[in-house]
């Protein structure tokens, strides 16, 4: 086996992996790690293989294979490194290497290992809240090999309901409307989203628990105004003018002049006493009205504007009432992923 | 005509119970009347005063005014020597047309007592009214028209345009519209002619009547 030429760099790159093994209890595995840190790859390989023959926890077993993968990568034994990383992924399908802190050789071997085994990784169900029938639950996962992938929801009052079936490779996004075949929203409860992949004899499945809860849909309040639009005054006070006095003088003048013009000449000069008394009253009223603040006049434009605004609000409130009637018959679905109990197999 | 019926009618109108009239405005109240009456020549000249009443109603585009008055006319110089009472009923129905304009149709009837001291007459009136709001609650009106088919107790006739009338009115709302001060002026000029067999003789009639009062609005 060829000894790597840039050993200090390799140690730095593998250091995070070594540091992550702090909880390892097995003494042989710890020795292997120590040897790896000391760049004694031969001893590291020997100790790592020895540890695998001992009783290890799943975590320790994954770390032992990972150590083997890194060591073989460092020793340019790529095929062996790939085999070791395949074991890592089978034990911990969600395991990922940090590309910023891992050597390119190890990363490459890890990626090759992923393509050679069938696993479903990174199954994620997003927290979401929506009105039943009007939204979807986003589900995504990554399948490492081209395979037939079936997604089911089980648990709760459901036995098992298939929600997707596809031939896929790589990342897959599906949207689940959370509805029963009858169209009703799924009842509240805890469910499992199970993703099963199969190609030939190889199968793999993983699951994610979710909790579905029901709530009432918020109704909309009725509007009393439209945002940004306010009612305008329907009357406006015109500027003060001499118009009332002028009108009074004109009316009185016309009446008195009419009296004079229409009176019969055979009866002598007409009596203007009666007309003058009433006319003076009118002129006095006109004078007072001229001095007084003018009466508010209807503002036609504002009245039409307010009428339109009222009609708009009434129309919108009618729509809101219909919408609220519909919403009261609906269910607000809330879907929350639960902490994962374990990986796939 | 006797003064009794006019006074009774005025009193009855003034005592109408105050019940609300839906979708309409109604007012009624007493008035003081004063007038000038001339007939045939400038020697038959009378002036006098009296009482009256006015009732008004407005409903949609329609409105109506009814005046009752009784004026005691006394001779004002000239050859007349005897007083007489003039009891008059004026009714004007209006229909609002546009702007300040309304069309008018009505009738008037005036009876003199003693009967032969002055002419009693009645006629149908038609004309137009122009009305303006001077300010809040202050309205003035100018109206004019012709009197058609006049009948005179002493006989006589007129030409087609021989009888005209002219009016001027003012109403001022007070006490939030519950009380209304009213002032009305009416001028009537009738170019009457008579024929006693010796030919047509001009016997015009002319009256200026002022009325001031108040009304309770419902």
In this predicted model, what pLDDT tens digit does every residue of A163-174 receive, in sequence order? 999 998 999 999
DSSP H/E element including A303? helix A300-328
Higher pLDDT, A9 or B155: B155
CATH number of residue B40's parent domain: 2.40.128.100
Higher pLDDT, B23 or A253: A253
Interval A209-228 mean pLDDT: 89
pLDDT at B24: 57
Measured between CB atoms, does A266 come within 8 Å of chain B? yes
State yes or no: pLDDT of B14 exceeds 50: no
B135, B141, B159, B214, best to mutate vs chain A, most A CBs in 10 Å: B135
Contact A35, A67 (CB under 8 A): no
CA distance linking residue A276 with residue A252, whole number of Å: 8
- Give me the percent of chain A exceeding a pLDDT of 90: 54
Shortest distance between the Cα of A295 and any Cα of chain B, in A, equals 5
Q: Cis omega before residue B114 (within 30°)?
A: yes
A110 and A180 share a domain?
Answer: no
Written as one string, the DSSP assignment of A255-277 is HHHHHHHHS-GGG-SPP-HHHHH
**Structure token pair of residue B83:** 């007083």
Sign of CA dihedral A262, A265, A271, A276: positive
Is the full-model pTM beyond 0.90?
no
Number of domains in chain B: 1
A249-253, A266-270, B104-108: which has the minimum mean pLDDT? A266-270
Ordered alpha helix ranges (H), A92-229: 104-116
Interval A268-297 mean pLDDT: 88
> How big is chain B by its Cα radius of gyration, in Å?
18
Rounded to the nearest angstrom, the gap between the alpha carbon of residue A29 and the centroid of all alpha carbons in its chain is 46
pLDDT at A94: 86
pLDDT-derived band of residue A1, with 50, 70 and 90 as boundaries?
very low
A124 and A111 share a domain?
Answer: no
Contact B62, B94 (CB under 8 A): yes
Domain that holds residue A157: 120-215
Q: Which residues pair with B133 in a beta bridge?
A: B139
A112 and A12 share a domain?
Answer: yes
CB contacts, 8 Å: A295 with chain B: 133, 135-136
pLDDT-derived band of residue B177, with 50, 70 and 90 as boundaries?
confident
The answer to the question of residue A59 being in a domain is yes
pLDDT-derived band of residue B51, with 50, 70 and 90 as boundaries?
very high
Contact A101, A110 (CB under 8 A): no
The answer to the question of residue B18 being in a domain is no
Q: Which residues pair with B167 in a beta bridge?
A: B143, B186
pLDDT at B183: 95
A111 and A124 share a domain?
Answer: no
Give me the interface pTM, i.e. the ipTM: 0.85
Count of Cβ atoms closer than 10 Å to residue B63 Cβ: 20
φ/ψ of B208, rounded to 5, equals -110, 125
CA distance linking residue B184 with residue B179, whole number of Å: 16
pLDDT at A331: 87
CA distance linking residue B214 with residue B131, whole number of Å: 19
Nearest partner of B77 among B41, B110, B107, B108, judged by Cα: B41
State yes or no: pLDDT of A343 exceeds 60: no
CATH number of residue A183's parent domain: 2.60.40.10
Sign of CA dihedral B160, B165, B166, B172: negative
Higher pLDDT, A293 or A76: A76
The answer to the question of residue A170 being in a domain is yes
CA distance linking residue B21 with residue A96, whole number of Å: 90
Contact A198, A148 (CB under 8 A): yes
Query: Do B138 and A285 count as a contact with CB atoms less than 8 A apart?
Result: yes
A35-44, A122-131, B151-160: which has the minimum mean pLDDT? B151-160
Rounded to the nearest angstrom, the gap between the alpha carbon of residue A106 and the centroid of all alpha carbons in its chain is 37
CATH number of residue A86's parent domain: 1.25.40
pLDDT at A258: 94
State yes or no: pLDDT of B151 exceeds 80: yes
Ordered alpha helix ranges (H), chain A: 7-19, 27-37, 41-52, 58-74, 78-91, 104-116, 243-262, 273-291, 300-328
The answer to the question of residue B59 being in a domain is yes
pLDDT at A13: 47
Nearest partner of B93 among B42, B41, B55, B39, judged by Cα: B55
pLDDT at A5: 42
The answer to the question of residue A334 being in a domain is no
The answer to the question of residue A228 being in a domain is no
Interval A51-78 mean pLDDT: 92
CB contacts, 8 Å: A255 with chain B: 142, 166-168, 185, 187
pLDDT-derived band of residue A181, with 50, 70 and 90 as boundaries?
confident
Pairing of β B193-195 and β A331-337:
unpaired
The answer to the question of residue B19 being in a domain is no
Interval B168-194 mean pLDDT: 92
> Which residue bears the tokens 């307010």?
A306
Interval B163-177 mean pLDDT: 92
B187, B191, B211, best to mutate vs chain A, most A CBs in 10 Å: B187
Which chain B residues have any C-beta within 8 angstroms of a chain A C-beta? 34-36, 38-42, 45, 47, 132-136, 138, 140, 142, 144, 164, 166-170, 172, 183-185, 187, 189, 191, 202, 204, 206, 208-210, 212
pLDDT at B41: 85
pLDDT at B47: 93
pLDDT-derived band of residue B2, with 50, 70 and 90 as boundaries?
very low
Number of domains in chain A: 3
Domain that holds residue B40: 3-13+24-217
B170, B171, B174, best to mutate vs chain A, most A CBs in 10 Å: B170
Q: Which of A116, A149, A184 is the last residue of a domain?
A: A116
Query: Do A267 and B208 count as a contact with CB atoms less than 8 A apart?
Result: no
pLDDT at A341: 57
């Amino acid at each position: 086996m060829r000894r790597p030429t840039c050993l200090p760099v390799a140690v730095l790159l593998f250091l995070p992996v070594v540091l992550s093994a702090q909880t390892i209890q097995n003494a042989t595995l710890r020795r292997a790690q120590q040897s790896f840190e000391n760049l004694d790859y031969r001893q590291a390989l020997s100790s790592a293989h020895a540890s695998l023959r001992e009783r290890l926890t799943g975590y320790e077993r994954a770390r032992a294979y990972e150590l083997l993968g890194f060591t073989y990568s460092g020793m340019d034994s790529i095929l062996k490194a790939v085999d070791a990383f395949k074991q890592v992924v089978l034990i911990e399908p969600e395991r990922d290497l940090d590309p910023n802190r891992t050597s390119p050789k190890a990363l490459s071997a890890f990626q090759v290992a992923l393509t050679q085994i069938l696993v479903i990784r990174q199954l994620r169900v997003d927290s979401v809240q929506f009105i039943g029938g009007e939204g979807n639950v986003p589900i995504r996962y990554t399948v490492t090999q081209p395979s037939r992938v079936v997604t089911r929801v089980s648990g709760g009052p459901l036995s098992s309901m298939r929600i997707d079936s596809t031939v896929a490779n790589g990342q897959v996004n599906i949207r689940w409307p959370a509805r029963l075949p009858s169209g009703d929203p799924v009842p509240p409860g805890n469910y499992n989203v199970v993703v099963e992949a199969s190609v030939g004899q190889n199968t793999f499945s993983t699951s994610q628990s979710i909790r579905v809860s029901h709530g009432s849909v918020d109704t909309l309040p009725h509007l009393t105004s439209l945002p940004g639009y306010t009612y305008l005054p329907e009357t406006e006070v015109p500027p003060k003018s001499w118009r009332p006095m002028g009108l009074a003088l004109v009316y009185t003048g016309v009446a008195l002049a009419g009296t004079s013009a229409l009176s019969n000449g055979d009866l002598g000069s007409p009596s203007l006493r009666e007309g003058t008394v009433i006319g003076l009253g009118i002129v006095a009223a006109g004078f007072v009205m001229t001095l007084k603040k003018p009466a508010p006049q209807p503002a036609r434009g504002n009245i039409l504007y307010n009428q339109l605004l009222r009609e708009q609000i009434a129309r919108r409130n009618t729509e809101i009432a219909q919408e609220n009637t519909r919403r009261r018959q609906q269910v607000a679905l809330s879907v929350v992923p639960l902490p994962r109990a374990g990986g796939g197999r | 005509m006797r003064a009794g019926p006019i006074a009774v009618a005025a009193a009855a109108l003034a005592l109408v119970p105050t019940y609300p009239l839906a979708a309409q405005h109604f007012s009624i109240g007493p008035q003081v009347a004063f007038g000038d009456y001339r007939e045939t020549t400038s020697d038959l000249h009378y002036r006098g005063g009296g009482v009256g009443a006015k009732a008004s109603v407005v409903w949609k585009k329609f409105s109506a005014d009814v005046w009752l008055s009784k004026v005691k006319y006394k001779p004002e110089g000239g050859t007349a020597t005897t007083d007489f009472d003039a009891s008059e009923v004026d009714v004007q129905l209006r229909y609002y047309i546009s702007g300040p304009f309304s069309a008018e149709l009505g009738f008037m009837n005036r009876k003199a007592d003693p009967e032969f001291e002055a002419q009693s007459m009645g006629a149908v009136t038609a004309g137009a009214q122009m009305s303006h709001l001077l300010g809040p609650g202050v309205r003035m009106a100018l109206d004019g028209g012709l009197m058609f088919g006049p009948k005179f107790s002493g006989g006589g006739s007129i030409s087609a345009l021989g009888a005209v009338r002219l009016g001027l009115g003012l109403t001022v709302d007070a006490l939030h519209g519950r009380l209304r001060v009213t002032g009305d002026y009416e001028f009537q000029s009738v170019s009457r002619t008579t024929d006693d067999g010796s030919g047509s003789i001009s016997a015009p009639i002319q009256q200026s009547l002022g009325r001031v009062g108040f009304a309770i609005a419902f």
